Amino acid sequence: MRLVELIRLALARLAVSRLRAALTMLGIIIGVASVIALVAVGQGATSGITSQLEALGTNLLTINPGATTTGLVRGAAGSATTLTTDDAAAIGQLEGVAALAPEARTQQVVVAGSQNTTTQIVGTTADYAHVRNFDLWQGSFLTSAAVQAGLRVAVLGATTADDLGLGASAVGSTISIDGLPFTVVGILQPKGGVGFVSQDDQILVPIATVEKYFTGSDSVRTIDVSVASADQMTDVTNAITAELRTRHELAAADADDFSITNQAQLLSTVGNVTAILTALLAGIASISLVVGGIGIMNIMLVSVRERTREIGIRKAIGARSSDILLQFLVEAMTLSIIGGLVGTALGILVSAGIDAVAGWPLVINPTTLVLAVGFSGAVGIIFGVWPARQAAVLDPIAALRYE
């Protein structure tokens, strides 16, 4: 028999017992939907995290100070004050460094009219916007002249501006930071955050201003370095390490009193971890497909029992064993493929809902859809072989006598 005719017969047979067919397909539907949803959510999470990390800057190296040690107790990384503005200036002269922005941070109360908030005050330079990929919504960014003169000017993050009730007309107005007046020169475009850290809840001011009025020190919390090209990341990292070790007079046996984080390595690590977790979850979900396949095998065995006389009649009028085998095998495969298609649609809807709630982009890989439906068809074939063979080997005389 032709394949088209076999599929038509299979669909007609399934239409006779719709409820039983639907219940049989349920395992396949749940399995395929679970696999697609988990893979899509995993890929969406990877894409969302990656975009957030890339938003931190282009070809970014982040230099942090080392940890303090009190007796035998080592403090958290970055708790020491081993980096200074002079270190930043020296790093800025290295080959391959496209832009550099040291950060001196402090938390202060900010007041604008009747509104107030407590936020991070980031002392930095005019290159900060370039290094950290910030765009302006209103006004202008810190200028080199303002940074060198240590002027009391401020650029507000989007969240901070909202908390203070400031809009586009706020540029040129005055806010108070720890009782000191600052002129608002710009407001940044909203950018979001990474983890629990929001890049929009901060105020940028000249680094000399923070040193003069708030910290009283030339130490910096972080030095952000934008490398000219991706293939120079390793060379620049090595150059920075050598420069800082020389400046800090570290002996060959001494450990670094600073750490350098490579954005590219961080992105690669995040991608690898999420890929492994996604594959693990998809593997667990695929167990449902096996359970669904067992359900198909059971129903097809029942179907063989119910249609024993039909099989005997077909063999008596000339049907070959291979025709019977193909008929039942196509029925099992059709059942599983329909379940796979329904499960695919359900999986897309579920993943879209989860990604919408989580705020991740919806990432549906067409290859995943094809593999899921193909695997469901393979499950139908694998678990349909035994019932189909049982039908094919029936003796026609015994089958005709079956009650």
Among residues 156, 240, 247, 143, the alpha carbon closest in space to that of 202 is found at 156
Ordered alpha helix ranges (H), 166-286 = 207-210, 233-247, 263-285
Q: How far apart (Å, rounded) are the C-alpha atoms in residues 57 and 63?
A: 14
Indicate the DSSP class of residue 215: I
**pLDDT value, residue 52:** 67
Which two three-digit tokens encode residue 307?
Answer: 């249609």
Contact 121, 143 (CB under 8 A): no
Sorted by where each begins, the domain ranges of the chain are 3-51+274-401, 81-256
Residue in 162, 146, 165, 164 with CA at minimum distance from that of residue 210: 146
HEC profile of 338-364 = HHHHHHHHHHHHHHHHHHHHHCCCCCC
Which pTM value belongs to this model? 0.62
| Residues lower than pLDDT 70 in the chain | 1, 3, 6, 52-58, 67-80, 192-197, 397-403
Q: What is the pLDDT of residue 295?
A: 85
* Beta carbons of 142 and 184 less than 8 angstroms apart: no
Q: Please state, in angstroms and rounded to a whole number, the distance separating the CA atoms of residues 348 and 366.
A: 11
Collapsing DSSP states into helix, strand and coil, what is residue 13? Answer: helix
* pLDDT value at residue 210: 94
pLDDT at 56: 61
Residue 183 · residue 219 · CB < 8 Å: no
Rounded to 5 degrees, what angle do the CA atoms 17, 23, 26 make?
140
Compute CA 112 distance to the chain's CA centroid, rounded to the nearest angstrom: 37
Please give the DSSP secondary-structure letter assigned to residue 96. T
Round to whole Å and give the CA distance between 191 and 199: 7
Residue 118's alpha-carbon distances to 114, 158, 169, 281, 391, in angstroms, are 14, 14, 22, 41, 77
Task: Tell me how far apart the alpha carbons of residues 88 and 102 are, in angstroms, rounded to a whole number.
Answer: 6
How much is the pLDDT for 74?
42
pLDDT at 188: 93
Distance CA 364, CA 229 (A): 31
d(Cα 173, Cα 115) in Å, to the nearest integer? 14
Contact 223, 97 (CB under 8 A): no
Enumerate residues 6+ apart whose C-beta is below 8 A from 101.
124, 125, 127, 128, 130, 131, 132, 223, 224
Burial class (CB in 10 A: 0-12, 13-18, 19+), 322: exposed
Q: How far is CA 58 from CA 54, 100, 157, 363, in A?
A: 7, 12, 20, 23
